[in-house]
Structure 1
């Protein structure tokens, strides 16, 4: 850790936020163990596993600061979210499907937008987690909401992103779950 911004980036990473969403929605689920297993594997561990492995091998930095190096990781995370969506569909878990579909849509959009600009994945991860919890009626969304300006400020402060890139992340992360949830409900 080099600074408080590194700590903020790790604590409010998309992976940490996905973990919080899985835990926060657990009380909404009848088959808690199945939901927890699918959620942890496909929404939390697998999407970030290649980044962690490559970082430990010294082949990429943990934050993947170079825009051109993000593509394979975004593809992998999108595949993981798709597998999670399929798994939740198979076990007929509507809440899990909404979460996985939202993360899949956001990840895929960031993959496409990454061709043009370095969208803030941290901002998108925080805002999509907040949006999903809000739309599902979880009170935990109130705990996540303060993370939005905090992560935006931190990513801007260390010059990881421009305000434009942060705003794109915030809007993509928040709006796509809204449209998907309205479509799936």
Structure 2
């Protein structure tokens, strides 16, 4: 049972919305409070606000475990990511704009897949941003991929996903992020 408690904690700590915020200090000046605040809204709050509300009301669990329930909860995230991309583009903050765009393209891809198949958003939420950081800031960040082992273990331990769903969540995020960054640079 203790390993389930640890797996649950890992699942909450490395939620895709939270992880997007954890990485901001790597490439955003912490004195740029405006950009950080906007990023927290678009990357951290908008993607999960309706999930939190519906979870509190007892309509879904926090991880939206049922595949058929998932698609509608991607919409606020997609709106947040796209809004962030547009706003940061207009503000000439190209790194933040691209970061938001990669979140949009990965999430849109997973949104489409989720109509037919359950895929790990947790793994996508680790592998996509890590790929972005590595492609834009260098290979020294490759060890961040080790977090995917931890998160994958947690989601598998909780029986939230099969190995294939975990693997595909990570691979799709890596590939979509790679092509988004390469195309937009």
Taking structure 1 as the reference length, what is the TM-score of the superposition?
A: 0.91
Q: Matches of residues 1-185 of structure 1 in structure 2 within 5 Å?
A: 3-27=5-29, 32-137=32-137, 141-142=141-142, 144-185=144-185
| Distance change >3 Å, CA 149–CA 133, structure 1 → 2 | same
| Distance change >3 Å, CA 68–CA 140, structure 1 → 2 | farther
In structure 2, C-alpha distance between the alignment counterparts of 1:151 and 1:124, rounded to whole Å: 10
In structure 2, C-alpha distance between the alignment counterparts of 1:38 and 1:126, rounded to whole Å: 21
In structure 1, C-alpha distance between the alignment counterparts of 2:167 and 2:50, rounded to whole Å: 26
In structure 1, C-alpha distance between the alignment counterparts of 2:33 and 2:90, rounded to whole Å: 15
Deviates more, 1:134-143 or 1:151-160: 134-143
Alignment RMSD (CA, Å): 2.0
In structure 2, C-alpha distance between the alignment counterparts of 1:68 and 1:61, rounded to whole Å: 13
In structure 2, C-alpha distance between the alignment counterparts of 1:46 and 1:98, rounded to whole Å: 18
Is the contact between residue 81 and residue 104 of structure 2 (CA under 8 Å) also seen in structure 1? yes
| Distance change >3 Å, CA 143–CA 33, structure 1 → 2 | farther
In structure 1, C-alpha distance between the alignment counterparts of 2:100 and 2:59, rounded to whole Å: 29
In structure 2, C-alpha distance between the alignment counterparts of 1:112 and 1:170, rounded to whole Å: 16
Q: How far does residue 116 in structure 1 lie from its aligned partner after superposition?
A: 1.7
Is the contact between residue 24 and residue 138 of structure 1 (CA under 8 Å) also seen in structure 2? no
Q: Which runs of 5+ in 2 are unaligned?
A: none
Taking structure 2 as the reference length, what is the TM-score of the superposition?
A: 0.91
In structure 2, C-alpha distance between the alignment counterparts of 1:120 and 1:112, rounded to whole Å: 13
